[in-house]
């Protein structure tokens, strides 16, 4: 079942001769339980596709459907609600909120959605526990290692039954051991029914995905990279 | 280890997350306030100072000496009837007064020789009297109740070395000191208090009454009796209202500076706010982060400011008590105003945070996540609303100036011009950057940065130009006001002068039909006063026409007026140019032209049109009947220039031509040095005895004082804003500075960058502020431009337009130049 669907999406920045076409007539869908890697050279439109899929940006043309509902027809508040309830993001540089502890960072999306603090905290603790960082729940972001930050970031992205997980170079700032651990967690989330989308340059990382979408100059040029290496067995 | 997908807890609200979301956001915002303390410090300090200053200002305003001066003499009565102590029918007279006026409070007085100029009186008074109660307070011991008991003030105790329980021989009697007392409203009052009826032969009996003047005049008072009236309370705004208005204006100004500070904070938090939006915060949530920040800063400033203000007030109390000469109670504060100041601080901080909050909430999430400040609207778009507002402002001011000076129109006009200029400020920054496109690198970069980050440079520029605009409006406005030779404005008297008027009516240019005290008695009392306080005494006479009509027992005296239609504008008190007065100012009567009607020190008075010398004052039935049109005015600079000094004299020639005669009305009393409170008190006591009043130097400053103070205040404020904001503005380009350093920029380049930033903001602020002030003046005085704004305050304008930018540049240049610690990227955490 497609949780996120992009239909003939184009995105341009600027106007006239100086316009930059980041995406050109892209149609793609992301299903529940599957992890899709988006690959391509710099400037190919990978991150733009991710942000449009996550309702962070409006397409210039085309439409985006999340759970069958057209996002472009939604109000700003409705989009915010959609992001609170359905879409989680994991960024390369973690983007944890300063001033909030790990558990508070994870609980914040729930609290923003009106969940009472106690219940939000308890759900956040569950998420942290599942990711193996519950022992660091009271730490502030600057007291955590890179791997721990990214786990907290993933916990924040999946907490509260979110069904779409969008990740942008999730292991870019991590060493290989931590990177593999994080990929395992993302993969695990997808096995539980989450639709995962991962932007990456790394072919090795792409091998964790069920499908790979190749982008070049804003266009999808192939469903899978021709020379994709086999994914590690333990991760499957 | 497995990926988590914690179940969504139920009860999430459908809309914006409700109270739970707000609580979470506010909680985070409060944590951020602690993290970004340094950036908050600017707004926090300014608001704290503003609240503190308002508390102290309000406290000083409600404890004004003027109120105490009246209460210290009259208590809660409105008239004092002074009866001679040797009145053979004193008891009958007192009974008659009581019968006619109801409640009375009697104070018997007998002077005690002290061997010094300081007068001391033995005073028999009921401490719980109906009207005199505010004038008496027990400091130690108890009030006297028996025939040989006395309570003394501190001065008397010192003078006679008296102690509680000790004995004192005064006026031929032996008295036991049972208490220490004071007049809390007049601490200079030196007296010894005895129980009522304990002065056998008083030299004077004061009767405090609350009655109308006509009721008192209807009583047949004995010879030598005099009636003194409490001055009517000054009209206009109450001091607390003025303090509140000033506080509101000050907070508005601080709000502008705070906007720049909050803008920097918003920029620092841009990526975090972008992240918050990415996981589902609404625009309202994003705004709440900044507004909660503002409220926290406001609450902290309100509490700290109130604390600082109250502590400062505790230090001010003894100083004010000494200078004002009356008891000041620490807790006598307008608590409502203190609360209002605290609330204003919170509202100002929240409002200042609102604009940056709105701006960051509108930045696209992707731009926010990358820390990009977002898209700027082209500055030319601000030009149209700016010009429209300027035009509307000018229109309102022209309407206000053309009519009767309606304050709402004036305020709306000034606001229109100020907000119009604010809209044009970004255009000015962009224009300056464009003008300097070929300037050396550092200058070019500094101006370009100002234009790039104009959301905060615009706020700083607005604060600077408002500071300068206010200063320039004050300077121009007062120059115009003080240049009016008919309605003279300025200090009333010099610090070493006082005027003793024989009767309250004399002060307003009238002469009472009857007086109970003879001229000789008055002269003797005033000469005695002059001798006791070592002052020169010059009689001042008013000119009265024998046929002048009398209104309410007061005859109007000759006056000089500018007549416009049916409107008479008085030029103030006109005294007679007596030989004694002329001699006092070193003027030879032969210097006065044979045909001159009036001599004056007011330079522009000779050129004023429609002047009339009216022998009947305002009592003249019609202008055509009695006006002495176009009197010849001669300017003599040796005459004094202060408002209540004899600066407008009618000549012997005019006196004869108009058949006027001179009536003694007042006395100019002049000491070598500034008058002391004791000297003023002695004069006040004499005035009470005579039924007259005194006038001493008020608080009105001179024109140059006002202009210099306004310019200095404007410049200091502007420099303060620059000191607080240039660092913030440059902090945004810290990354560029690192790159610049990495590419080999020297300390001079870095210094020049900061210097030019500060200097350019100062210059633009000075130009915009002065320009806006002149627009206000042109709109307001458009009918009388040639006479009202022809006196350009050159020195002050030079200080503002040249001095301010130069000091700002120098300050920025000298204080900058530190090499950035690292050339690195700052992550969100």
Whole-angstrom distance, CA of residue B64 vs CA of residue B62: 5
d(CA B569, CA B487): 7
pLDDT score for B829 = 40
d(CA B787, CA B481): 10
Rounded to 10 deg, the angle between the A146-158 and A102-112 helix axes is 20
Residues 2-21 of A with CB under 8 A from B: none
Interface of A with B in 46-75 (CB under 8 A): 51, 54, 56-57
**pLDDT above 70 as % of chain B:** 86
Phi-psi region of B467 (alpha: psi -120 to 50; beta: other; left: phi over 0): alpha
Flag if B278 and A83 touch (Cβ within 8 Å).
Answer: yes
β pairing state of B204-209 and B137-141: unpaired
In sequence order, the β-bridge partners of residue B781 are none
Q: Within an 8 Å CB–CB cutoff, is residue A194 touching chain B? A: yes
Task: Give the closest of B4, B7, B278 to A89, CB-based.
Answer: B278
The Cα-based distances of B183 to B74, B117, B318, B508 in angstroms read 11, 20, 16, 30
pLDDT digit string (tens) for B581-634? Answer: 999 999 998 899 988 999 999 888 888 878 888 887 764 555 555 567 788 999
Identify which of A53, A54, A91 has the alpha carbon closest to the alpha carbon of residue A170: A91
Cβ contacts of residue B184 below 8 Å, gap of 6+? B134, B135, B136, B137, B326, B327
Please state which of the ranges A145-154, A208-217, B628-637, B815-824 shows the lowest mean pLDDT: B815-824
**Tell me, what's the ipTM?**
0.85
**Which H or E element spans position B297?**
helix B283-324
Chain A residues in contact with B23 (beta carbon < 8 A): 111, 117
Task: Quickly count helices (H) and strands (E) in chain B.
Answer: 27, 25
Q: What is the pLDDT of residue B765?
A: 93
The two tokens of residue B339 are 């609360």
Buried b (16+ CB within 10 A) or exposed e, B391-410: ebbbebbbebbeeeeeeebb
Nearest to B731 by CA among B260, B160, B169: B260
Question: Going by C-beta distance under 8 Å and a sequence separation of 6 or more, which residues neighbour residue B774?
Answer: B472, B476, B789
* Distance in angstroms (rounded) separating the CA atoms of residues B453 and B469: 24
Q: How far apart are CA B251 and CA B268, in angstroms?
A: 25
Listed in sequence order, the residues at least 6 apart from B152 whose beta carbon sits closer than 8 Å to its beta carbon are B160, B162, B168, B177, B179, B180, B181, B191, B192, B193
- Selected residue with higher pLDDT from A29 and B160: A29
More confident residue, B772 or B230: B772
pLDDT tens digits, B201-249: 888 888 999 888 788 888 888 877 778 777 766 555 567 777 777 788 7
Please determine, for residue B576, whether its predicted confidence score (pLDDT) is greater than 90.
yes
**Tell me: the pLDDT tens digits for B665-713?**
899 999 999 988 888 888 888 887 787 888 888 777 788 888 888 888 8
d(CA A92, nearest CA chain B) in Å: 11
pLDDT for position B7:
52
Nearest CA in chain B to A183: B3
For A:21-50, CB contacts with B below 8 A are none
Residue B181 burial (10 A CB sphere; 0-12, 13-18, 19+): buried
Asked if B713 and B519 count as a contact pair (C-beta separation under 8 A), the reply is: no
CA nearest B260: which of B719, B732, B711? B732
Return d(Cα A89, Cα A197) in angstroms, integer: 10
- Please report the pLDDT score of residue B294 as a whole number: 92
Please list, residue by residue across B215-238, b when 16 or more beta carbons sit within 10 angstroms of its beta carbon and e when fewer do: ebeebebbebbbbbbbeeeeeeee
CA separation for the pair B164, B236 (Å, rounded) = 46
Helix (H, G, I), strand (E, B) or coil at B563: strand
3-state secondary structure of B175: strand
Q: List the one residue out of B166, B200, B169, B170 whose CA is nearest residue B180.
A: B166
Measured between beta carbons, the chain A residues lying within 8 angstroms of B365 are: 51, 56-57
**CB neighbour class for B307 (10 Å; exposed up to 12, middle 13-18, buried from 19):** middle
Q: How far apart are CA B736 and CA B442, in angstroms?
A: 12
pLDDT at B179: 93
User: Which of B536, B540, B543 lies closest to B557, judged by CA?
Assistant: B543
- In this structure, the strands spanning B510-512 and B554-556 are antiparallel
All domains in chain A, ordered by first residue: 2-222 (3.40.50.300)
Query: C-alpha angle with apex B746: B743 to B748, nearest 5 degrees?
Result: 145
User: Hey, is the C-beta of B824 within 8 angstroms of any chain A C-beta?
Assistant: no
Mean pLDDT computed over A187-193: 85
- CB spacing of A80 vs B369 below 8 angstroms: no
**pLDDT tens per residue, range A77-86:** 888 888 888 8
- Assigned token pair, B745: 């920029």
- The nearest CA of chain A is from the CA of B777 a distance in Å of 46
SS3 content of chain B, % helix, strand, coil (to 5): 55, 15, 30
Is a pLDDT exceeding 70 seen at residue B731?
Answer: no
Confidence of residue B67 (pLDDT cuts 50, 70, 90): low
Inspect the interface and report whether the beta carbons of A158 and B4 lie closer than 8 Å.
Answer: yes
CA distance to partner chain B, nearest, from residue A72 (Å): 15
What whole-number distance in Å separates Cα of residue B782 and Cα of residue B465? 23
Average pLDDT, chain B: 82
Residue numbers in B near A162 (CB within 8 A): 5
Question: Is residue B405 very low, low, confident or very high in pLDDT (cuts 50, 70, 90)?
Answer: low
**A107: closest CA of chain B, how far (Å):** 9
Q: Chain B residue closest to A151 (CA)?
A: B3
pLDDT at B564 over 80: no
Q: Is the pLDDT of residue A226 over 60?
A: no
Helix (H, G, I), strand (E, B) or coil at B483: coil
Task: Give the integer Cα–Cα distance in Å for B792 and A86.
Answer: 68
Look at residue B732 and tell me whether its pLDDT is greater than 70.
Answer: no
Q: Give the model's pLDDT for residue B822.
A: 46
pLDDT at B140: 92
Most confident of A185-194, B233-242, B323-332, B475-484: A185-194
| The predicted structure's pLDDT at residue B143 | 93
Q: Per DSSP, which regions of B113-172 are E strands?
A: 120-124, 137-141, 149-152, 167-170
**Do residues B646 and B639 lie in contact, with contact meaning Cβ atoms separated by under 8 Å?**
yes
Q: Residue B522: name the closest of B536, B537, B544 by CA.
A: B537
- Structural contact between residues B193 and B181, judged by C-beta atoms closer than 8 angstroms: yes
Between B455 and A186, name the one with better pLDDT: A186
Query: How many Å from the N-terminal Cα to the C-terminal Cα in chain A?
Result: 21
Give pLDDT, residue A10.
92
Are B48 and B308 in contact by the 8 Å Cβ rule? The answer is yes
B-chain residues within 8 Å CB-CB of A84?
Answer: 17, 279-281
pLDDT digits (tens, 9 = 90+) for B188-198: 788 899 998 88
Shortest Cα distance, chain B CAs vs residue A13, angstroms = 13
């Amino acid at each position: 079942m497609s949780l996120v669907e992009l239909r003939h999406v184009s995105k341009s920045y600027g106007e006239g001769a100086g316009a930059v076409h980041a995406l050109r007539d892209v149609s793609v869908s992301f299903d529940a339980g599957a992890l899709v890697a988006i690959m391509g050279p710099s400037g190919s439109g990978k991150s733009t596709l991710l942000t449009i899929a996550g309702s962070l940006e409006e397409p210039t043309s085309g439409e985006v459907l999340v759970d069958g509902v057209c996002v472009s027809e939604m109000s700003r508040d409705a989009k915010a609600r959609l992001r609170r309830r359905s879409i989680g993001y994991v960024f390369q540089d973690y983007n944890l909120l300063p001033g909030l502890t790990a558990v508070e960072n994870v609980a914040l999306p729930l609290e923003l959605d009106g969940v009472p603090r106690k219940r939000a905290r308890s759900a956040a603790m569950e998420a942290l526990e599942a990711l193996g960082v519950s022992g660091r729940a009271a730490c502030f972001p600057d007291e955590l290692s890179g791997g721990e930050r990214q786990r907290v970031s993933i916990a924040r992205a999946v907490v509260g039954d979110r069904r779409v997980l969008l990740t942008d170079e999730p292991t870019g700032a991590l060493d290989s051991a931590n990177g593999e651990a994080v990929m395992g967690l993302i993969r695990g989330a997808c096995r539980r029914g989450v639709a995962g989308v991962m932007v990456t340059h790394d072919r090795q990382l792409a091998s964790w995905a069920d499908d790979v979408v190749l982008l070049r100059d804003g266009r999808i040029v192939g469903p899978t990279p021709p020379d994709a290496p086999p994914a590690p067995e333990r991760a499957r | 280890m497995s990926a988590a997908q914690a179940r969504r807890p139920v009860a999430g609200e459908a809309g914006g997350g409700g109270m739970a979301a707000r609580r979470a956001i506010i909680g985070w915002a409060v944590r951020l306030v602690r993290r970004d303390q340094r950036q908050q410090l600017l707004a926090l300090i300014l608001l704290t100072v503003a609240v503190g200053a308002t508390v102290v200002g309000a406290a000083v305003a409600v404890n004004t000496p003027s109120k105490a001066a009246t209460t210290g003499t009259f208590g809660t009565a409105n008239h004092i009837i002074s009866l001679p102590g040797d009145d053979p029918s004193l008891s009958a007279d007192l009974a008659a007064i009581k019968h006619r006026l109801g409640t009375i409070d009697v104070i018997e007085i007998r002077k005690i020789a002290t061997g010094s100029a300081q007068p001391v009186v033995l005073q028999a008074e009921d401490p719980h009297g109906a009207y005199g109660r505010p004038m008496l307070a027990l400091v130690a011991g108890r009030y006297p109740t028996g025939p040989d008991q006395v309570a003394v003030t501190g001065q008397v105790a010192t003078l006679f070395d008296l102690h509680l329980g000790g004995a004192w021989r005064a006026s031929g009697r032996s008295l036991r000191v049972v208490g220490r007392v004071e007049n809390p409203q007049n601490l200079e009052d030196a007296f010894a208090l005895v129980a009522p009826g304990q002065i056998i032969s008083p030299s004077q009996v004061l009767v405090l009454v609350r009655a109308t003047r006509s009721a008192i005049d209807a009583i047949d008072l004995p010879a030598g009796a005099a009636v003194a009236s409490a001055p009517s309370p000054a009209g206009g705004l109450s001091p607390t209202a003025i303090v509140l208005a000033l506080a509101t204006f000050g907070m508005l100004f601080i709000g502008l500076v705070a906007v720049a500070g909050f803008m920097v904070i918003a920029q620092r938090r841009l990526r975090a706010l972008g992240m918050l939006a990415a996981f589902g915060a609404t625009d309202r949530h994003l705004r709440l982060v900044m507004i909660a920040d503002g409220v926290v800063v406001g609450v902290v400033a309100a509490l700290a400011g109130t604390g600082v203000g109250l502590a400062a007030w505790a230090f001010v109390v003894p100083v004010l008590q000494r200078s004002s000469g009356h008891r000041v109670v620490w807790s006598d504060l307008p608590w409502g105003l203190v609360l209002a100041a605290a609330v204003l601080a919170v509202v100002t901080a929240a409002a200042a945070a609102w604009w940056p909050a709105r701006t960051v909430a509108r930045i696209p999430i992707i731009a926010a996540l990358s820390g990009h400040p977002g898209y700027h609207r082209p500055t030319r778009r601000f030009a149209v609303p700016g010009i429209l507002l300027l035009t509307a402002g000018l229109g309102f001011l022209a309407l206000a100036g053309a009519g009767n000076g309606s304050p709402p129109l004036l305020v709306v006009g000034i606001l229109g011009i100020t907000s119009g200029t604010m809209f044009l400020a970004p255009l000015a920054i962009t224009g300056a950057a464009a003008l300097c496109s070929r300037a050396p690198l550092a200058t070019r970069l500094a101006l370009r940065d100002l234009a790039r980050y104009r959301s905060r440079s615009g706020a700083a520029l607005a604060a600077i130009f408002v500071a300068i605009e206010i200063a320039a409006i004050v300077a121009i406005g007062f120059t115009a006001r003080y240049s009016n030779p008919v309605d003279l404005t300025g200090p009333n008297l010099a610090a070493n002068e006082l005027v003793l008027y024989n009767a309250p009516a004399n002060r307003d240019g009238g002469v009472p039909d009857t007086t109970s005290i003879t001229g000789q008695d008055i002269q003797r009392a005033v000469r005695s006063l002059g001798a006791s306080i070592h002052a020169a005494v010059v009689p001042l006479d008013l000119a009265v026409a024998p046929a002048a009509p009398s209104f309410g027992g007061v005859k109007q005296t000759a006056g000089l007026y500018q007549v416009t239609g049916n409107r008479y504008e008085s030029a103030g008190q006109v005294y007679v140019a007596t030989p004694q007065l002329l001699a006092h100012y070193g003027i030879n009567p032969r210097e006065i032209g044979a045909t001159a009607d009036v001599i004056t020190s007011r330079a522009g008075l000779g050129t004023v049109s429609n002047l009339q010398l009216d022998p009947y004052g305002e009592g003249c039935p019609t202008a055509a009947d009695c006006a002495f049109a176009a009197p010849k005015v001669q300017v003599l600079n040796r005459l004094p220039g202060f408002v209540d000094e004899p600066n407008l004299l009618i000549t012997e020639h005019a006196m004869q031509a108009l058949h006027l005669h001179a009536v003694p009305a007042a006395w100019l009393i002049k000491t070598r040095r500034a008058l002391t409170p004791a000297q003023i008190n002695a004069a006040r006591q004499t005035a009470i005895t005579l039924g007259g009043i005194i006038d001493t130097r008020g608080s009105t400053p001179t024109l140059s004082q006002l202009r210099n103070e306004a310019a200095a205040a404007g410049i200091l404020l502007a420099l303060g804003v620059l000191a607080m904001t240039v660092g913030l503005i440059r902090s945004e380009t810290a990354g560029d500075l690192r790159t610049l350093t990495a590419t080999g920029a020297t300390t001079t380049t870095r210094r020049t960058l900061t210097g030019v930033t500060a200097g350019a903001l100062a210059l633009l602020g000075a130009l915009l502020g002065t320009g806006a002030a002149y627009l206000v003046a042109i709109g307001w005085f458009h009918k009388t431009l040639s006479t009202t704004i022809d006196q350009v305050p050159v020195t002050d304008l030079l200080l503002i337009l040249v001095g301010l930018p130069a000091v700002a540049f120098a300050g920025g240049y000298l204080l900058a130049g530190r090499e950035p610690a690292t050339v690195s990227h700052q992550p969100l955490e």
